[in-house]
Amino acid sequence: MTTTLITGASSGIGAELARQLAARGHDLALCARRTDRLEELRAEIVAAHPDRTVGIKALDVTDDEAVFRVFHEFDEELGGVDRVVVNAGLGKGAPIGVGGYAANRATAMTNFIGALAQCEAAMEIFRLRKRGHLVVISSMSAMRGMPKTVTTYAATKAGIAHLAEGIRVEMRGKPDLDITVSTIYPGYIRSEMNEKVEQRTKFMVDTETGVRGIVEAIEKGVESARVPAWPWKPLGTAMRHLPLGVVRKLT
């Protein structure tokens, strides 16, 4: 039985990950700031899968002390956490230099510093146990610098992708540790974060479809995956090499 810890699990991709992983037989450790949403999600999952164990805790990932405490509490209370999905994120943003620093800083602190704390806490647990699976949810926006309101968001997602890759490189040199590190690059998947722009965004897919691709990649233990595979696998390669003027039209 695999126990998977998911941050930012109260809505969107995180909540749907919980539903789909529970359907595949996973026990769950769910955390987010909104515990009322977590309570509803737990009730829904247990009603559909009475044999699942679903732990919930309040967590603001920008509270460093709370991240370490909650992760270790889950590990003790649930008999060990096997996988951690670093999913919690923020989508605020403004073009650089127009007075939107507060929004950009909030996104940077949540998406990068918060993710760093989660990776640290998860890897503490995995190193002690000598096994585990760290999953970092990045974004296709990490492929290149993005304009306007997405600039800081994209930079944070590129940062955590490199963070995950650095951990992965280290683990390759540790034959005594059975620790897998996966970086997932979702394309445009409908969620609360983007609900205001979904109607004018190219290649948007519904949450269930998009998360199904994420779950399949996680279960395979891949090093990295762009999801859904179409069009993001070929488009991601193109984005790395296309002129910036062309990349801008894709956003």
**Virtual torsion, Cα 168, 189, 61, 104, nearest 10 deg:** 100
**Cα 247 vs. chain centroid, distance in angstroms?**
24
Cα distance between residue 13 and residue 150, in whole Å = 19
Mean of pLDDT values over 115-123 = 98
Cβ 160 vs Cβ 109: under 8 Å: no
In the chain, where the domains are located: 3-249
Angle at 117 between CA 114 and CA 118, to 5 degrees: 90
Report pLDDT digits (tens) over 21-62.
Answer: 999 999 999 999 999 999 999 999 999 999 999 999 999 999
**Three-state SS string across 89-118, please?**
CCCCCCCCCCCCHHHHHHHHHHHHHHHHHH
Query: Which residues are tagged catalytic?
Result: 153
At 198 the pLDDT is: 43
**CB half-sphere exposure, 251, CA atoms < 13 A:** 21
Q: pTM for the complete prediction?
A: 0.91
Least confident of 13-22, 114-123, 202-211: 202-211
What was the pLDDT predicted at 238?
62
**pLDDT at residue 202 greater than cutoff 70:** no
Judged against a pLDDT cut of 70, whether residue 8 lies above it is answered with: yes
CATH number of this structure's domain 3-249: 3.40.50.720
